[in-house]
């Protein structure tokens, strides 16, 4: 245990026992000095009285040393009896805190520490059972989502092909009203395709199959391309979408362009969707030599303080967001955070409800896939 020496159990017990031994000695010494010393000097010759007093003083010193030895020995015994079980319990708690619930403590003691060990084992077993149930439910849910999403991809792709053919006039001329209706259908179809992709991506992330292919890329041109793609949605929503970038038009980043396009695209698209008509969405790119920094700001509905801590969790959508946009899964930010983290970067945001949101994405210039940090593996077995 990383305790300071003066705060350790040994020193607490040692000084307590030492005090219990010294106080009676101090009282006895004062009593002797006040009562018997004058009488000894009155009865005995000065030389004999001095020798006797010196002998008694030496005896007091020896007794003091003996008390120190006894206090040290007793403190060691008591500390071992209490501190060792505490260190075992502390290590077990650390394992549980790190996510490893395969913890068992062998209990042979019948005292309060032993009872604590029994209760600890029961708690660890209940937590492990709950974790196993949660993992099984999560696995079944992921499998269902993956199967359902795969089944939806083909009919949605066919719908997209049909809508595009109608708009392009492949099936004959269409009126203005028909074109507007088909364009609305196209937007809905794109929304469903995006939903299916998000479900599949989330399932792959949970299964650890969301692979990355890192390569050198010009991040400036990359961001410009994403903004150009989102410009159509911005025009439909009557949103002003702007891009401002650093003076350097060539910033090389080691990244996965497909995955990074999903992450940055999600943020820009959310900003457009949750900003009222006539609002603005601005994308700004900077580079400080170490990090590529992408800042995405909007004048939208913002995120309430109650919703902010959970914005990057799966299937979570803010209460005000659901009133404005009924569609959505709450997976976009979850996927985005995983992608940015895998690039060795970080994502944060600042938001005020009713005044807009700003997301800040920082990606190191030399990125590489980041391995997840796993808790200590294997069972932990110890005895009290």
| Residue located via tokens 């003083």 | 57
pLDDT for 201: 77
Within 10 Å of residue 68's Cβ, how many Cβ atoms?
A: 15
- Whether residue 293 contacts residue 360, with contact meaning beta carbons closer than 8 Å, is answered with yes
| Residue located via tokens 């800042």 | 295
Domain 215-364 has CATH 3.30.420.40: no
- Whether residue 271 contacts residue 296, with contact meaning beta carbons closer than 8 Å, is answered with yes
Structure tokens given for 341:
């983290």
pLDDT for 2: 44
Domain 102-210 top-level CATH class: mainly alpha
Alpha helices (H) in 208-275, listed in sequence order: 219-236, 257-273
For residues 104 and 117, what is the distance between their CA atoms, to the nearest angstrom? 9
Average pLDDT, the chain: 79
Choose among 319, 273, 314, 321: nearest CA to 296: 273
61 alpha-carbon distance from chain centroid: 58
| Residue located via tokens 């106080």 | 23
For residues 103 and 297, what is the distance between their CA atoms, to the nearest angstrom? 47
Q: What is the mean pLDDT of each run of 10 residues along the chain (384 residues)?
A: 54 71 71 66 70 75 78 74 78 82 81 83 86 78 72 80 82 82 81 77 73 87 91 89 77 88 91 91 87 92 86 72 58 88 92 91 73 54 65
Q: 218 — phi, psi (to 5°)?
A: -85, 105
Residues 6+ apart with CB under 8 A from 311: 303, 318, 333, 349
Structure tokens given for 343:
């690039």
For residues 60 and 190, what is the distance between their CA atoms, to the nearest angstrom? 93
How far CA 192 is from CA of 168, 206, 314, in Å, comes to 21, 21, 18
47 alpha-carbon distance from chain centroid: 79
Structure tokens given for 155:
């009919």
| Residue located via tokens 């209460």 | 319
Residues 6+ apart with CB under 8 A from 353: 301, 302, 303, 304, 305, 320
What is the 3-state composition of the chain as percent helix, strand, coil, each rounded to the nearest 5?
A: 60, 15, 25
For residues 236 and 166, what is the distance between their CA atoms, to the nearest angstrom? 19
């Amino acid at each position: 245990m990383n305790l300071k020496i003066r705060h350790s159990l040994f020193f607490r017990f040692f000084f307590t026992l030492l005090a219990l031994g010294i106080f009676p000695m101090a009282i006895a010494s004062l009593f002797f000095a006040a009562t018997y010393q004058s009488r000894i000097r009155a009865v005995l010759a000065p030389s004999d009285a001095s020798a006797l007093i010196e002998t008694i003083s030496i005896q007091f010193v020896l007794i003091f040393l003996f008390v120190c030895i006894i206090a040290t020995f007793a403190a060691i015994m008591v500390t071992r009896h209490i501190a060792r079980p505490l260190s075992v319990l502390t290590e077990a708690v650390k394992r549980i805190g790190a996510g490893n619930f395969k913890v068992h403590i062998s209990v042979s003691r019948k005292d309060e520490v032993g009872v604590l060990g029994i209760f600890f084992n029961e708690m660890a077993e209940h937590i492990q059972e709950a974790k196993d149930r949660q993992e099984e439910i999560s696995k079944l849910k992921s499998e269902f989502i993956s199967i359902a999403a795969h089944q939806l991809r083909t009919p949605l792709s066919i719908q997209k092909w049909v809508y595009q053919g109608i708009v392009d006039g492949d099936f004959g001329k269409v009126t203005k009203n028909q074109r507007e209706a088909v364009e609305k259908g196209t937007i809905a179809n794109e929304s469903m395709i995006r939903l299916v992709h998000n479900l599949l991506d989330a399932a792959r992330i949970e299964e650890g199959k969301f692979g990355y292919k890192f390569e050198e890329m010009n991040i400036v041109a990359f961001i410009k391309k994403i903004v150009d793609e989102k410009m159509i949605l911005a025009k439909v929503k009557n949103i002003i979408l702007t891009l401002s970038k650093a003076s350097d038009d060539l910033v090389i980043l080691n990244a996965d362009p497909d995955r990074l396009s999903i992450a940055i695209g999600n943020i820009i698209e959310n900003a457009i969707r949750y900003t009222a008509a006539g609002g603005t969405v601005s994308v700004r790119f900077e580079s400080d030599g170490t990090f590529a920094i992408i800042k995405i700001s909007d004048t939208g509905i913002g995120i309430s303080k109650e919703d902010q801590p959970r914005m990057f969790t799966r299937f979570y959508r803010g209460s005000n967001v659901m009133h404005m946009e009924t569609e959505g899964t709450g997976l976009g930010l979850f996927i985005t955070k995983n992608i940015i983290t895998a690039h060795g970067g970080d994502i944060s945001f600042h938001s005020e409800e009713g005044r807009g949101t700003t997301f800040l994405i920082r990606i190191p210039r030399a990125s590489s896939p980041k391995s997840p940090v796993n808790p200590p593996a294997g069972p932990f077995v110890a005895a009290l």
